[in-house]
């Protein structure tokens, strides 16, 4: 019997905000555990292709299993590839290759801290700053890999603005890669400086932050 994959409702919003079109070349840069990849894959048609990338071997194995469980074999073979590359290097090697990129970046994931004492002990302001550095590197790489006119969604499940709006602000301030912010409202959550955030204390879902950008 196949396992049932359950997603937090808030996690659907970043994937849907990417607005994948049938023929798009799509990169899910940090794809595990795979729920968002399933949403992206559903939008693809003939000529479209999804690269579901996950650097961690253990998480990549889980990603592969989720895709195998929920995507028909013919669709998997024709339209989906699972890779294990370092996301921070993809932009250098594949400049302007993708029409759509989802960067659901590794983050503090405060929701998990409430249920895992071991993870809670690892949390610190210093760790948040370190993660923000990694997130910035991943975002720059993703933007390099994005075609001009392409759309990217940057997402985390962190509460800290350092890992959310501040990462986007840094890209805007550096100005080396020109982007514009796409603003939309959604049925739950609230606007932030650059994006949208869904918090569990007001919605019962999340936390999820996401920002939608277009490369100029």
- Active-site positions read 157
Which DSSP symbol is given to 161? Answer: G
Nearest to 36 by CA among 44, 46, 27, 28: 28
The answer to whether 52 touches 66, Cβ cutoff 8 Å, is: no
For residue 117, the tally of other CB atoms under 10 A from its CB is 8
Q: Report the distance separating Cα 181 and Cα 52, nearest Å.
A: 24
H-helix or E-strand spanning residue 48 = none
For the beta carbon of residue 162, count every other beta carbon within 10 angstroms.
17
Q: List, in sequence order, every beta strand (DSSP E) within 11-131.
A: 25-28, 49-53, 80-83, 98-104
Residue 210 sits at the vertex; the CA angle it makes with 152 and 136, to the nearest 5 degrees, is 65
């Amino acid at each position: 019997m196949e396992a049932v994959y359950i997603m937090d409702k808030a996690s659907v919003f970043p994937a849907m905000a990417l607005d994948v079109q049938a023929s798009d070349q799509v990169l899910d840069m940090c794809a595990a555990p795979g729920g968002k990849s399933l949403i992206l894959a559903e939008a693809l048609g003939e000529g479209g292709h999804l690269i579901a990338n996950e650097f961690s071997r253990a998480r990549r194995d889980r990603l592969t299993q989720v895709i195998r469980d929920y995507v028909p074999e013919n669709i998997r073979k024709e339209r989906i590839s699972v890779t294990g590359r370092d996301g921070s290097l993809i932009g250098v090697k594949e400049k302007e290759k993708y029409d759509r990129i989802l960067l659901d970046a590794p983050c503090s994931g405060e929701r998990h801290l409430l249920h895992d004492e071991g993870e809670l002990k690892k949390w610190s302001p210093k760790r948040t700053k370190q993660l923000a550095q990694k997130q910035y590197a991943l975002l720059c790489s993703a933007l390099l890999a994005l075609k001009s006119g392409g759309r990217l969604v940057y997402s985390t499940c962190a509460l800290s603005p350092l890992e959310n709006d501040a990462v986007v602000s840094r890209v805007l301030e550096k100005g080396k890669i020109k982007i514009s912010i796409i603003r939309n409202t959604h049925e739950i959550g609230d606007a932030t400086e650059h994006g949208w955030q869904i918090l569990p204390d007001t919605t019962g879902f999340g936390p999820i932050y996401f920002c939608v950008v277009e490369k100029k």
